[in-house]
Amino acid sequence: MRVLSGIQPSGDFLHLGNYFGAIRQQIHLADSHEALLFIADYHSMTSVRDAALRREYTQGVALDYLACGLDPDRTLLFRQSDVPEVCELAWLLSTVTPMGLLERGHAYKDRIAQGQPADHGLFAYPVLQAADILLYHADLVPVGQDQKQHIEMARDMAQRFNNTYGEDLLVVPEPFIPDDVAVVPGTDGRKMSKSYGNAIPMFAAPKAVKKAVMGIVTDSTPVEEPKDTKAAVFQIWSLFAEDAEREDLFARATAGGLGYGDVKKDLHRRVEALFEPMRERRAALEAKPDEVEAILSEGGRRAREIGRPVLDACRQAAGLGARV
């Protein structure tokens, strides 16, 4: 079973919601599957127009994942653009993709609805994404709900290509949308999001992390009164606790006598215990760009070894290039 996913390099800082909601699961997939993870730098061209920024963001994603514990010996981590074969496969797929399918694409429709100009890259974004998946014969694509439509389009394109040029050329992938991943609340109780100003950052300076944790909004229930364990502070704390610890703390909260301040201090201690080593690993790697580059290049080389034969078979079946 081959699992593949892609991440857009956007330059965004990572927060606890990203870690518990996505990254941790992406990294652990390699425990039980053959895993490929690439940084979608070609895709970023639909939004980022600055070359230096693109490199910086791409490097940033690599640092984030390596710092979070991605083991490059077990997960192929690579830059999308190191396997340019993906662009050729995108062309092949585009010739069996109806306009109507792409016109229904959310990203494209949203851009048009906002009255903003859309270029062909954005329109064809789902075709390149399909090529990303199909080039590597990926079976399973773990993504968030927002990407479900793109995976369905990739399935559609694989089936059409196979129907046209030969069954078994491309593997029809399945989306993998875990529904048991809880939404991590932010410091104000809404979903944690970088755009709400309610995030607890992973890789910010220790002071900023502490400020965010201590700033979690709580009500004015006095210490001795029972507390509602659905409050953000308890829910966030739970992410860092074992089941037995949670039961214990929740029982104390419900009984009364437990102050929010103490929970926050303990939470901060746990946040640091998990993220401080990651922060250090990230800083250490940042100081060794050659090492990161070697990981990405080697990942790209190995990914290309998987993708090249798949493209070659598609070319042959479609009557392209010299007959072999």
Looking at 36, 127, 141, 249, which residue binds ligand TRP (CB under 6 A)? 141
Scanning 141-149, 203-211, 292-300, 308-316 for contacts with ligand TRP by CB under 6 A, the matching segment is 141-149
Which lies closer to ligand ADP via its Cβ, residue 5 or residue 97? Answer: 5
- Shortest Å distance, C-beta 18 to ligand ADP: 4
Length of the chain: 324
The dihedral formed by the CA atoms of 61, 67, 69 and 71, expressed in degrees to the nearest 10: 70
Q: Which backbone phi and psi does 312 adopt, to 5 degrees?
A: -60, -40
CB atoms under 10 Å from CB of 29, counted, come to: 21
Calpha distance 17→30 (Å, rounded): 21
Which lies closer to ligand ADP via its Cβ, residue 183 or residue 274? Answer: 183
Residue number with the shortest CB distance to ligand TRP?
A: 6
Looking at 4, 5, 6, 21, which residue binds ligand ADP (CB under 6 A)? 21
**Is 132 a binder of ligand TRP (CB under 6 A)?**
yes
Size of the site for ligand TRP (CB under 6 A): 12
Calpha distance 218→220 (Å, rounded): 7
Letters for 164-203 (x = contact with ligand ADP by CB under 6 A, - = none) are -------------------xx------xxxxx--------
Scanning 51-59, 112-120, 139-147, 267-275 for contacts with ligand TRP by CB under 6 A, the matching segment is 139-147
**Is 22 a binder of ligand ADP (CB under 6 A)?**
yes
**Is 83 a binder of ligand TRP (CB under 6 A)?**
no
Letters for 283-322 (x = contact with ligand ADP by CB under 6 A, - = none) are ----------------------------------------
**Is 59 a binder of ligand TRP (CB under 6 A)?**
no
- Shortest Å distance, C-beta 32 to ligand TRP: 19
Among ligand ADP, ligand TRP, none, the one that 169 touches (CB under a kind-dependent 5 to 8 A) is none
Calpha distance 55→72 (Å, rounded): 20
**Is 116 a binder of ligand ADP (CB under 6 A)?**
no
- Residues lying near ligand TRP in the complex (CB under 6 A): 5-6, 8, 40, 43, 129, 132-133, 141, 143, 147, 150
